[in-house]
């Protein structure tokens, strides 16, 4: 019987995993053991990161599975700056085997700026859509029927890489997330929207990241993006959160 897979990118520097990423991996390993899923770590780039950033390389997912001869049912692609709560339900049982995402309930200045500039420079034939229906790409559940869409994502990058990189540098609008949102609409991909509980992005803006660990009482997948002084605060809060939940 094919298993569900949790897929995390952890490109090692000098042969080491970032300490905070290890807490993420350990929490997802706990989830996989609890529900009999498999954890797959991508620890080396597929192609030169100078050409395609590491985050974009997650759309080689199906190629990676094929090359490693891994059979699968559904795959959860999740960022390495997340920690899953030990009491989380099995999210794979909530998908109806659809493409599953969570709305990005975070910095709407950034979201709108990203939507507007990508639309102007790359997607002029597509209308601006409702920002409250904008998805975070750090948590995606897919299956075999989405292989062709991932090929579309890779082809889009190859055809538009110079403009994408220029937009990112000029406007500070992130990597794959906004193109993903536009291409999902362009290709008419059916998406099932899951609760914010399964991708709690920008928690700091909601003032729930604190020493009372309110963020651990608010949902299941804590996404430690959008924190100030991230090089200090992200490792600090991921370590404290993991030890609070699992030790």
Q: Which residue has the tokens 């030990």?
A: 86
In the predicted structure, residue 13 carries a pLDDT above the cut 90 = no
pLDDT tens sequence across 228-244: 888 899 999 999 999 99
Long-range contact set of residues 226-232: C-beta below 8 Å, sequence gap at least 24? 226/106, 226/107, 226/201, 226/202, 227/203, 228/204
What was the pLDDT predicted at 124? 95
What was the pLDDT predicted at 7? 98
What was the pLDDT predicted at 12? 83
What was the pLDDT predicted at 141? 98
In the predicted structure, residue 160 carries a pLDDT above the cut 80 = yes
What was the pLDDT predicted at 184? 98
| H-state helical runs in 132-176 | 147-171
Residues sharing a CB contact under 8 Å with residue 46, sequence separation 6 or more, in sequence order = 57, 60, 63, 64
In the predicted structure, residue 107 carries a pLDDT above the cut 90 = no
User: Would you place residue 168 in the very low, low, confident or very high pLDDT band (cuts 50, 70, 90)?
Assistant: very high
What was the pLDDT predicted at 234? 94
pTM, to two decimals? 0.96
What would the DSSP string read from start to end of 176-236?
Answer: SHHHHHHHHHHTT--EEEEPGGGSB--GGGGT--STT-GGGGS-SEEE--S-SSHHHHHHH
pLDDT tens sequence across 129-153: 999 999 999 999 999 999 999 999 9
The domain segmentation of the chain, as residue ranges, is: 5-105+135-145+190-246
- C-beta separation of 194 from 148 below 8 A: no
Residues sharing a CB contact under 8 Å with residue 9, sequence separation 6 or more, in sequence order = 41, 42, 54, 55, 57, 58, 79, 80
pLDDT tens sequence across 64-88: 999 999 999 999 999 999 999 999 9
Rounded to whole angstroms, the Cα distance separating 6 from 226 reads 23
User: Would you place residue 15 in the very low, low, confident or very high pLDDT band (cuts 50, 70, 90)?
Assistant: confident
User: Encoding tokens for residue 61?
Assistant: 């997912």
What was the pLDDT predicted at 39? 98
User: Encoding tokens for residue 183?
Assistant: 């291409």
Answer whether CATH 3.90.550.10 is correct for domain 5-105+135-145+190-246: yes
């Amino acid at each position: 019987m094919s298993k569900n897979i949790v897929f995390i990118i952890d490109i090692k520097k000098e042969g080491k995993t970032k300490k905070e990423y290890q807490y993420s991996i350990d929490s997802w390993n706990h989830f996989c053991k609890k529900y009999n899923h498999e954890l797959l770590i991508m620890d080396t780039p597929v192609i030169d990161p100078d050409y395609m950033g590491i985050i974009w390389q997650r759309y080689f997912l199906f190629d990676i599975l094929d090359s490693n001869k891994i059979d699968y049912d559904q795959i959860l692609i999740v960022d390495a700056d997340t920690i899953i709560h030990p009491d989380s339900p099995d999210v794979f049982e909530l998908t109806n085997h659809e493409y599953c995402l969570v709305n990005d309930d975070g910095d709407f200045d950034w979201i709108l700026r990203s939507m507007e500039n990508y639309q102007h420079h790359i997607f002029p034939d597509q209308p601006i859509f409702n920002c409250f229906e904008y998805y975070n790409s750090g948590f995606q559940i897919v299956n075999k029927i989405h292989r062709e869409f991932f090929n579309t994502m890779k082809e889009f990058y190859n055809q538009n890489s110079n403009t994408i990189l220029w937009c990112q540098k000029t406007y500070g609008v992130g990597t794959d997330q906004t193109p993903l949102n536009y291409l999902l609409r362009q290709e008419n991909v059916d998406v099932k929207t899951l609760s914010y509980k399964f991708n709690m992005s920008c928690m700091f803006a909601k003032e729930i990241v604190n020493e009372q660990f309110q963020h651990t009482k608010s949902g299941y997948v804590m996404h430690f993006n959008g924190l100030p002084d991230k090089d200090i605060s992200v490792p600090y809060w991921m370590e404290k959160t993991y030890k609070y939940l699992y030790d």
